[in-house]
Amino acid sequence: MKRIEIQSEAVEKIKKYTVTDQVLGFGKYMAPIMVIAEYKNGAWGKATLMPYGPLQLDPCAKVLHYAQEIFEGLKAYRHPEGDITLFRPELNAQRFNFSAARMAMPEYPVDMFVEACETITAYSRNIVPKRLGESLYLRPFMIASEAGLGIKPAKEFIFGVVASPSGNYFSSSSVKVYVERDEVRAATGGIGNAKTGGNYAASLRSYKRTLEESCDQTMWLDSKEHAYVEEMSGMNFFAVINGVFTTPPLSDSILAGVTRRSLMELAQRRKWPVVEERIHLDDLIAKIKSGACTEAFVCGTASVLVPIASLKFKDGTTIHMREPDGKLCLELKEELINVQAGRVEAPEGWLHPVPVIEF
Exposed, middle or buried by CB within 10 Å (0-12, 13-18, 19+), for 328? middle
What end-to-end distance do the CA atoms of the chain give, in Å? Answer: 13
> Residues 166, 136: contact at Cβ < 8 Å?
yes
- Residue 248 contacts ligand COI per CB under 6 A: no
> Residues 301, 259: contact at Cβ < 8 Å?
yes
Nearest to 353 by CA among 147, 114, 156: 114
> Residues 251, 193: contact at Cβ < 8 Å?
yes
Quote the least distance from Cβ 300 to ligand COI, whole Å.
Answer: 4
Q: How many residues bind ligand COI (CB under 6 A)?
A: 5
Whichever of 248 and 257 has its CB closer to ligand COI, that residue is 257
Positive or negative, the Cα torsion across 202, 203, 204, 205? positive
Whichever of 217 and 294 has its CB closer to ligand COI, that residue is 217
Residue 33 and residue 50: Cα distance in Å, rounded? 6
- Residue 140 contacts ligand COI per CB under 6 A: no
Cα angle 272-73-185, degrees, rounded to a multiple of 5? 80
Q: Which of residues 261-280 bind ligand COI (CB under 6 A)?
A: none
CB-side neighbour CA atoms (13 Å) of 180: 27
- Residue 73 contacts ligand COI per CB under 6 A: yes
Per-residue x/- mask for ligand COI, residues 179 to 218, rule CB under 6 A? ----------------------------------------
Whichever of 26 and 272 has its CB closer to ligand COI, that residue is 26
- Residue 165 contacts ligand COI per CB under 6 A: no
> Residues 162, 136: contact at Cβ < 8 Å?
no
Whichever of 234 and 326 has its CB closer to ligand COI, that residue is 234
Whichever of 206 and 301 has its CB closer to ligand COI, that residue is 301
Quote the least distance from Cβ 175 to ligand COI, whole Å.
Answer: 12
Q: In the 8-state DSSP scheme, what is residue 170? A: S
- Residue 234 contacts ligand COI per CB under 6 A: yes
Per-residue x/- mask for ligand COI, residues 299 to 328, rule CB under 6 A? -xxx--------------------------
| Residues found near ligand COI in the complex (CB under 6 A) | 73, 234, 300-302
